[in-house]
Amino acid sequence: MSTETRKLDRVVIRFAGDSGDGMQLTGDRFTSEAAAFGNDLATQPNFPAEIRAPQGTLPGVSSFQLHFADYDILTPGDRPDVLVAMNPAALKANVVDLPDGGILIVNTDEFTKRNLTKVGYDSNPLEDESLAKFQVHKVAMATLTIGALEETGLGKKDAERAKNMFALGLLSWMYHRPTEGTERFLREKFAKKPDIAEANVLAFRAGWNYGETTEAFAVTYEVAPAKLNVGTYRQITGNTATAYGIVAAAQRSKLPVVLGTYPITPASDILHELSKHKNFDITTVQAEDEIAGIGIALGASYGGALGVTSTSGPGIALKSETIGLAVMTELPLLVIDVQRGGPSTGLPTKTEQADLLQAMFGRNGESPVPIVAPQSPSDCFDAVLDAARIALKYRTPVLFLSDGAVANGSEPWLIPDVDSLPDLTVEFATDPETFQPYARDPETLARPWAVPGTPGLQHRIGGLEKQDVTGNISYDPENHDRMVRLRQAKIDGIEVPDVVVDDPSGEAKVLVVGWGSSYGPIGAAARRVRKLGLPVAHAHLRHLNPFPKNLGEVLRKYDKVIVPEMNLGQLALLLRAKYLVDAVSYTKVQGLPFKAEELQNVLADVIKGVSA
Amino acid sequence: MTAIDLGIPGLSGVPTTDEKQTAKDYKSDQEVRWCPGCGDYVVLNAVQSFLPSLGLKRENIVFVSGIGCSSRFPYYMNTYGMHSIHGRAPAIATGLAVSRPDLSVWVVTGDGDALSIGGNHLIHTLRRNVNLKILLFNNRIYGLTKGQYSPTSEEGKVTKSTPAGSLDHPFNPVSLALGAEASFVGRAIDSDRAGLTSVLRQAAEHRGSALVEIYQNCPIFNDGAFDVLKDADEAQRRIINVVDGEPIRFGREGEYCVIREGFGLAVAKSADVDASDIVIHDASDLNLSFALSRLSTQDLTHTVTGVFRRADRPTYDDSARAQVSEAKAAKAADLSKLLHGKDTWTVVG
């Protein structure tokens, strides 16, 4: 029997299994295959905070969702079209998201009575009617994998562990994916254990052949390459793009980088990545705590390096005092906050954008700090470069607000020509005749960066209030007032590009304003409501402090402004306070990104309300 | 920048000058604002007088401090300086030392700054062995906040915050530093200019973290805390000054000595013991250094001064720079190549 091939414009696949099942790796490989094939794509991993929650339980479920298409897409997809469930827990935790008629591929080997009871199934869903509304494919993946590896001599337990590659092989066949990349990858990954490498390759091929030779699957699918802009692409996650942006900042400023940091989810991968690139004059110091991490970064900046620290919300709380010192000493410093669910330890592996007001105001005294937020995984590169530009040019700490969704999500990235990247060269102070520690550049209000070792510029700085110009300690009331205003004016005067409004029809009366990682879902929702004939304008803010100069004017142009956020309305609060516009919040704090569908409904309702 | 090797490990990489320097060159134009009679003046003078002898370019010396009376120190030094935040000076100085091998970096801190709020940074700096010279001014009291007990105050200390007496057991800063395996630990007394200068010099020459505890009198909130060590007769009986390689004897005529006892050390009369039983100081022996530190009691019955420990081990900052240099030598900094990675695809028009 020949299988039918159907053409699709987009597919969302979710791989779900136990956290020990290798679902992240499986998803990652499928992503690379889609990327190599030329699809546009977006991914979203979702995993528990526990490294290995008890096997086969609901808290131990790890999943990886991948959206790939023949056109440019903005999100990892609201719901999977295909769910691969490696055990009953993965099925139970994810099947609610599968739409009626969706494809469900189940590893039947794990559906034992014991495993079913563990997650509260009274009867085996594969044997009752509960899955009738889906296209269910029951595949004994573990058994088939063990069978395929019989001749390798590998123990049963080791052989069974390759079942995720069986699943990958099967899905690769179903969607006509190229396979060479995965085989090459496996051989490289397990270069030191050639038997394991071979076992994984065999399992991968067994999955492919299972699809090809059995008649279980009547249909395969094709998703043609997307028409992306001309150029060379790669797949990249937000954390990697952030790390690369920092490397680029080192290169473009010709400064060494010192990353002082402390491991914390979901920011640690920035440390891991940067620690590999010492050849770019990058030093990484894993400090004893969050406070030491930023202290080390600030000390390095004082010495003329670009100091960087990376953390998540709880770490920002600990670093606040040192950020204040950097505000007072007016030294460049890059502070990366990969936001996660809060407060306190909160939801370490989930996403949220609730640190905006902490970034804005979370310090004692009047302590203004510029804030930059990336809107997608690949955008982290440009955004962090811009944060470095601000830090270096204006001699200030800058907060970079990434989040779990962009940090761990991935998408294709049009690799930039390195010569086209902004020039971040700085000039250190050298002239003892004119030097004053707190004299200011009339244009930027930045003070001179006078690094130790420069003859004749010996001076003392610190956290005590400074006398204007001389930088000596000053308790003078008038001077303090002046300095508070000067520090604020410096931040307010930072040059940031105008916000660009996306309103293809030019007839929108409703403006949706977002920031950070909600760009994808908001953008996708806006496209959908426009298709329904409802015009909507979308403005997305990269710069949260200072706001773009045209923002007030933009906000006032529309009858209604709606602000979706993964918090309780923090940007909306700022917009209302600063611009006196009646910005309406739409908020959700579930540790997950918005779904395009829910925002579509929200926007449609608002637009209809305005027209009515 | 010219780096001239002085042959002094602690300062190798820091440029020197032939210009003659005096203590005056190290005084900044800022008015010194410690209380009259504060021990900090003595230490400041000792440091300003001693630094010229190192022959370093003044602009390559940096003092970093935390918060507290002693942490005002950088303002009075005509070098580079940062008066940072409470307890964090070792962390900030670490960032500076890691990125700048051409600087001589000094940390000035107090018993509250270093041992209370900044205790974590202190022990980790010492175990890493960052090339920093840490001067810990110990006056056994919080001065700047006007007189609360500190982590080195004796138990039962009556202060504003402890009218019924403090409950905390104090740290012995030298024992703490040795517990963190500091590669250099010394102690001096503010009033002993020669002893202080000698320890400072050895600290400067040492490559790695050097912790120098300085007993320092606070005339306002804890006056006379160290008076028994400043009385000539008492000092003879109480101060045990140790010198590497020499038998540990003290007293006017060397009538007291240090001998082994159990797992530790004890004080004996020299006349009562065989000369061969007198312990010879070996600053490279961590166990001996620690045992010596235990001879110093909170009530100052005995106080050991001098250099407890001086041992060579790799410094964190040298090793970190070596990793960067090796990486640079092994692999060109090709940004474009990095950004492309292993898997790319090209879209053509």
Handedness of CA A44, A48, A52, A56 (dihedral sign): negative
3-state secondary structure (DSSP) of residue B288: helix
- Has residue A292 got a pLDDT over 90? yes
Quick one: pLDDT at residue A2?
Answer: 65
Question: Percentage of chain A with pLDDT > 90?
Answer: 92
CB-based contact (8 Å) between B35 and chain A?
A: no
Closest residue in chain B to residue A242, using alpha carbons only:
B339
Please report which helix (H) or strand (E) contains residue B42, including its range: helix B39-50
Confidence of residue A386 (pLDDT cuts 50, 70, 90): very high
Q: Give the amino acid at A263.
A: P
Quick one: pLDDT at residue B2?
Answer: 42
CA dihedral A330, A331, A337, A342 (to 10 degrees): -40
Q: What is the domain partition of chain B in residue ranges?
A: 9-225+314-340
- Has residue A546 got a pLDDT over 70? yes
Q: Under a CB-based contact definition with an 8 Å cutoff, are residues A388 and A245 in contact?
A: yes
- Has residue B7 got a pLDDT over 80? no
Quick one: pLDDT at residue A398?
Answer: 98
Bridge partners of A128, per DSSP, are none
A191's CB contacts (< 8 A; 6+ apart) are: A197
Q: pLDDT averaged over chain A? A: 95
- B184-189, strands of its sheet edge to edge: A460-462, B80-83, B61-65, B104-110, B133-138, B210-215, B184-189, B303-310, B239-242
B338/A277 CB distance under 8 A: yes
Please give the Cα distance from A203 to A107 (Å, whole number). Answer: 14
Please give the Cα distance from A14 to A66 (Å, whole number). Answer: 6
- A543-545, strands of its sheet edge to edge: A282-286, A257-261, A306-311, A333-339, A397-403, A371-372, A543-545
Closest CA to A325 of B213, B131, B64: B64
Closest-CA distance of chain B to residue A325, Å: 7
Bridge partners of B242, per DSSP, are B306
A322/B88 CB distance under 8 A: yes
**Which has more pLDDT, A53 or B331?**
B331
CA dihedral B324, B325, B331, B332 (to 10 degrees): 100
Closest CA to A13 of A68, A92, A89, A72: A68
CATH, domain B9-225+314-340, list 3.40.50.800, 3.40.50.970, 3.40.630.30, 3.40.50.300 = 3.40.50.970
Closest residue in chain B to residue A305, using alpha carbons only:
B99
A35/B345 CB distance under 8 A: yes
In a mutational test of the A interface, the residue from B99, B123, B324, B344 whose CB has the highest number of chain A CBs within 10 Å is B99
CB-based contact (8 Å) between B321 and chain A?
A: yes
Closest CA to A245 of A209, A204, A274: A274
CATH 3.40.50.970 occupies which residues in chain A?
Answer: 234-420
Please give the CATH number for the structural domain made up of A234-420. Answer: 3.40.50.970
Task: Concatenate the DSSP letters of all residues of A229-253 into one string.
Answer: PSEEEEEEEHHHHHHHHHHHHHHHH
Closest residue in chain B to residue A260, using alpha carbons only:
B95
CATH 3.40.920.10 occupies which residues in chain A?
Answer: 4-223
CA dihedral B6, B11, B14, B20 (to 10 degrees): -60
Closest-CA distance of chain B to residue A234, Å: 5
B91/A260 CB distance under 8 A: yes
Structure-token pair, residue A478:
């008038």
Please give the Cα distance from A594 to A376 (Å, whole number). Answer: 14
- At A11-45, the pLDDT tens digits run 999 999 998 899 999 999 999 899 888 899 999 99
Q: Under a CB-based contact definition with an 8 Å cutoff, are residues A390 and A398 in contact?
A: yes
Q: Give the amino acid at A145.
A: T
- Has residue A213 got a pLDDT over 70? yes
Topology of domain A4-223 in CATH is Pyruvate-ferredoxin Oxidoreductase; domain 3 (3.40.920)
For residue A450, count other CB atoms closer than 10 A to its CB.
Answer: 25
Phi, psi of B21 (to 5 degrees): -115, 150
Of the candidates A32, A288, A454, the beta carbon closest to that of B121 is on: A288
**Which has more pLDDT, B348 or A17?**
A17
Quick one: pLDDT at residue A611?
Answer: 79
Q: From the centroid of its chain, how far is CA A490?
A: 29
Structure-token pair, residue A574:
């700022």
* CB burial readout B34-53, b (16+ within 10 A) else e: beeebbbbbbbbbbbbbbbe
A297/B332 CB distance under 8 A: no
Confidence of residue A115 (pLDDT cuts 50, 70, 90): very high
CB-based contact (8 Å) between B228 and chain A?
A: no
Q: Under a CB-based contact definition with an 8 Å cutoff, are residues A498 and A571 in contact?
A: no
Of the candidates B103, B332, B338, the beta carbon closest to that of A453 is on: B103
Bridge partners of A560, per DSSP, are A510
Q: Under a CB-based contact definition with an 8 Å cutoff, are residues A15 and A45 in contact?
A: no
Phi, psi of B217 (to 5 degrees): -80, 135
Q: Under a CB-based contact definition with an 8 Å cutoff, are residues A553 and A572 in contact?
A: no
Peptide bond into A266 cis (omega under 30): yes
A-B contacts at Cβ under 8 angstroms: 206
Confidence of residue B204 (pLDDT cuts 50, 70, 90): very high
Of the candidates B77, B121, B339, the beta carbon closest to that of A415 is on: B339
- Has residue B342 got a pLDDT over 90? no
Topology of domain A501-611 in CATH is Rossmann fold (3.40.50)
